[in-house]
Amino acid sequence: MEPLFRIFPRAEAVIYSFAGTLVILGAAYLLVMAVLEGVDLVLQGKGAGLPILLLDKVLLALMMAEILYTLVRFAREGQLQVEPFLVIGIIAGVRRILVITAEGLQKYPFSLDHPGFQAVLAELLLLSLMVLALAWAYRMVRGV
């Protein structure tokens, strides 16, 4: 039984290394594709959609970087910390708020009577509350 337990830390390190490599490759692919899609949008004369595309892809890449940081930190310390997950949640919430705002203003008229606009406002409200709750939790964990 003892030899089996000696294999576990090495297997864990291999798993974290593989997961980290996949996160790095995914983030790199995401950023390269964002540049290529952005160039394609500009060449097609649809440059107005470029900020939304870049914002969405770059914030997603930042989330992946934070996930990688969490993996590395856990692999080194052997303890799972809550702060990185809260930061990932905050970035994800802000990313979604920005994308929904940009897309919603393009899709629906700026009218409180329009059901599509009402749905965007409701989603923005819920996301804002989620980001505030995560920020509060981060502050409580950090003791700030």
Q: Do residues 81 and 33 make contact, with C-beta atoms less than 8 angstroms apart?
A: no
Distance set, CA 50 to CA 9, 24, 36, 96, 106 (Å):
45, 24, 11, 16, 13
pLDDT confidence bin for 108, thresholds 50/70/90:
confident
Q: Do residues 138 and 88 make contact, with C-beta atoms less than 8 angstroms apart?
A: no
Q: Mind listing the pLDDT tens digit for each residue in 29-84?
A: 999 999 999 999 899 988 888 888 888 888 889 889 988 888 888 878 877 788 88
pTM: 0.71
Q: Mind listing the pLDDT tens digit for each residue in 121-138?
A: 999 999 999 999 999 999
Distance of CA 84 to the CA centre of its chain: 12
Which amino acid belongs to residue 51?
P
